[in-house]
Structure 1
Amino acid sequence: MTNGSLERISLATRIRNNFLTGLIICAPIAITIWLTWSFIDWADSWVKPYIPSRYNPESYLQFAIPGFGLLIAVTTITLIGFLGKNLIGRSIVAYSESILHRMPLVRTVYKSTKQIFETVLKEQSGSFKRVGLIEFPSPGTWALVFVSSDARGEIAAKLNEDGEEMVAVFLAPTPVPTAGFLMFVPRSKLKLLDMSPEEGVKLLISAGLVTPEYKAAATEEAATIINPPEGT
């Protein structure tokens, strides 16, 4: 192979490597901007039609204001939350709920939706704050799960008959962890991990390519540096 051929191969390799490096830099930025812009546009499309034209600044301007609908939605939700904490607000909410509870189909949807949001968004809730491993689908094969809560109610009464506490876990698929299986496993069969739920989601979405740093290993390394073994 001549020197000219080697130089052409080397040049092509450098161009490919530079392109891949640029792609790694630009792709996450572009995807983040696109997702953010899509969410803002989606929120605006839902909220703006309900804003009276006299209160909408776009009625007086010659251009659209991205994010105005989202700002109005966030402000309105925050204001409702503030009003819902006082006596009058709680009375209005209780009266509205009493009306919804009288509607056969609506009350089921409302109760289920409210329970989900209270469980997920409640500050004191421990839902999905831990990540663990269970043997699934066969012994020796481990799957990543998100710990929901301890088994309660009838499920706890039926499954805890042998004295083994059961834990509710959510097994999400890869690479889109938006649907999955709710499973009840013995606490002794659950291996809790130190990684956060956010790191667990990254691990799932990347199909294992993005592995979070093991903090315990770093702690052990730091302890070794501080207290080196004898003879070093």
Structure 2
Amino acid sequence: MLDGVFVTVLAAITRVLPPTAQSGIEQLRDVPGLGVVVVVVVLLLTGMFVANVFGQWWLRQWDRLMGRIPIVKSIYSSVKQVSDTLFSSSGNAFREAVLVQYPRAGSWTIAFVTGRPGGEVATQLGGEHLSLYVPTTPNPTSGFFLMVPRADVVPLQMSVDEALKYIISMGVVAPPAPAVASAAPLPLRNRAG
């Protein structure tokens, strides 16, 4: 697939170049896997660009431009805020995996604790509640937000990564069962006597 995209980009480039340079570009079409290498190099260069001072300046200009477009402003700022929270290395977006009955009693699903309800919601709910994100399968980027009493939540010992693998695989890739402390083996009885 990446090679197909790469060939399309090469075709667009050859239209712009003079005929003397086109033969060298045409030879690149026959190199298998070159599209993958180009994508990796482009991602690496993009990361290096945004990690330095000049790249940070361009990102701030982009944010400022997006903040001035009337309809795009609200969508862009919301998506940026959510993605910054979810993908930040210091954030606690998904703190732990838990079991919760959803969508009805007796049906269980894995959810992720995202925090506690706050503000007016917390005062209206009363008691101790948790904010949960219930991802959909096999695409965990969409899901449901629930506020559930803490007493209705069953904590799991699996990591968030293990829970995500379990959800994405639709239950096929199950995490290993937690080690249960086993009782000391019973002594063997002496058969004589």
User: TM-score of the superposition, structure 2-length normalised?
Assistant: 0.70
Quote the residue 1:77 is aligned against. Answer: 46
Determine whether 1:96 maps to 2:50: no
Task: Give 1:119's aligned residue.
Answer: 85
Please give the alpha-carbon distance, in whole angstroms, between the structure 1 residues aligned to 2:166 and 2:130: 22
How far the C-alpha of 1:122 sits from its partner, in A, is 0.6
Equivalent residue of 1:170, what SS?
A: strand
Aligned counterpart, 1:186: 149
- Describe the shift of the 1:69–1:138 C-alpha distance in structure 2 as closer, same or farther (beyond 3 A): same
State the Cα distance separating 1:102 from its structure 2 match: 1.3
- SS of the aligned residue for 1:70 comes to helix
DSSP 3-state at the match of 2:40: helix
Unpaired runs of 5+ residues, structure 2, are 189-193
Q: Is the 8 A contact 1:174 1:204 kept in 2?
A: yes
TM-superposed CA distance for 1:75, in Å, is 1.9
Aligned to 2:191: none
Q: How many residues align?
A: 178
Deviations 1:90-131 (A, max 9, x none): 444333322221110221232122123212221011223421
Change (3 A) 1:94 1:131: same
- Which residue identity lines up with residue 143 of structure 1 in the other structure? T
Structure with bigger helix share is 1
Instruction: Give the drift of 1:134.
Output: 1.1
C-alpha deviation, 1:193, in angstroms = 0.9
Comparing 117-126 and 174-183, the one that deviates more? 174-183
Q: 2:134 aligns with which of 162, 171, 183?
A: 171
Q: Is the 8 A contact 1:48 1:69 kept in 2?
A: no
Q: Which runs of 5+ in 1 are unaligned?
A: 1-37
- Of structures 1 and 2, the one scoring higher in RCO (CA 8 A, sep 6+) is 2
